[in-house]
Amino acid sequence: MTEEINNLNTDLKELFVESKFDKMQEVLDNIADSTVVEITLYNYDIIKKYYETQRYNLLAQFIKFVAYSSFLCEYSVKRQIISNDEYEKMYEIFTSIYLKIKEEKE
């Protein structure tokens, strides 16, 4: 990931944390498909790595990042730059993370 794309990813994360979803959508809508996919997969791969190593405590600790990554995946499938099949796999992981965190809180 180039420095420019990394900075864009950081800016998008900040907008997400500040709940500025309309602004985030506007920024995403003006980014090339390839860049959106790169950002989406970069963040998703981090989540997937921690999920596969069962680091649920870290995922719970950084739940806003998990939510941000989930948002990007959903945006990307709606924009049709990732396939429905790929998104289904992503969705399963995010749902599983949610259920694991919920289970640990009970």
pLDDT, position 105: 75
| 101 has pLDDT over 90 | no
| 25 has pLDDT over 80 | yes
| 102 has pLDDT over 90 | no
| 73 has pLDDT over 90 | yes
In the 8-state DSSP scheme, what is residue 62? T
Q: Give, in order, the Cα–Cα distances in Å from 5 to each of 12, 21, 39, 48, 104.
A: 10, 19, 7, 20, 35
Tokens of residue 52, six digits: 């596969």
Q: How sure is the predictor about 1, in pLDDT bands with cuts at 50, 70 and 90?
A: confident
Contact 12, 28 (CB under 8 A): yes
